[in-house]
Amino acid sequence: MKKTIAGTEVDVNEEGYLTDMNQWTPEMADAIAGEEGVAPLTDDHRKVLTYLRELQAQHASITIRGVGKSGVVTTKELYALFPGGPLKKASKIAGIPKPVGCI
């Protein structure tokens, strides 16, 4: 299905996750963060988003534990930056699919 985010029409699934991470822009991250109640995005948010996009590009497994051990952010910081479902929200804002382990 189609959705307009930050003035650009993109393809999303039924949960609102981009189906093509190449359609993502930093401006979309700001818009999605607002929808998810995570705005405004800080440099720390953006570091996590960049890290998640890099992992996705490598087809690596993305888990809260893995992000917490990455050196980018601790698990506690991840929860503080993206409250109420940190990996789900961070992935959506980063323009990548919802991680397999997320409900």
Which contacts qualify for 74-81: CB closer than 8 Å, 24 or more apart? 77/44, 78/48, 81/38, 81/42, 81/44, 81/45, 81/48
| Residue bearing tokens 């959506």 | 92
Tens of pLDDT, residues 36-91: 999 899 999 999 999 999 999 999 889 999 999 999 999 999 999 999 999 999 99
Asked if the model's pLDDT at residue 101 lies above 90, the reply is: no
Of 6, 12, 64, 102, which residue is the catalytic one?
A: 102
How far apart (Å, rounded) are the C-alpha atoms in residues 12 and 92?
10
Query: For residue 100, what pLDDT band results from cuts at 50, 70 and 90?
Result: confident
Q: What is the pLDDT of residue 102?
A: 59
C-beta separation of 96 from 60 below 8 A: no
| Other Cβ atoms closer than 10 A to 2 | 7
Rounded to 10 degrees, the C-alpha dihedral 32/35/36/38 comes to 80
Q: What is the pLDDT of residue 75?
A: 96
How far apart (Å, rounded) are the C-alpha atoms in residues 48 and 70?
10
Known catalytic membership, residue 102: yes
State mean pLDDT over 4-25.
Answer: 97
Query: For residue 99, what pLDDT band results from cuts at 50, 70 and 90?
Result: confident
E runs forming strands in the chain: 2-5, 8-11
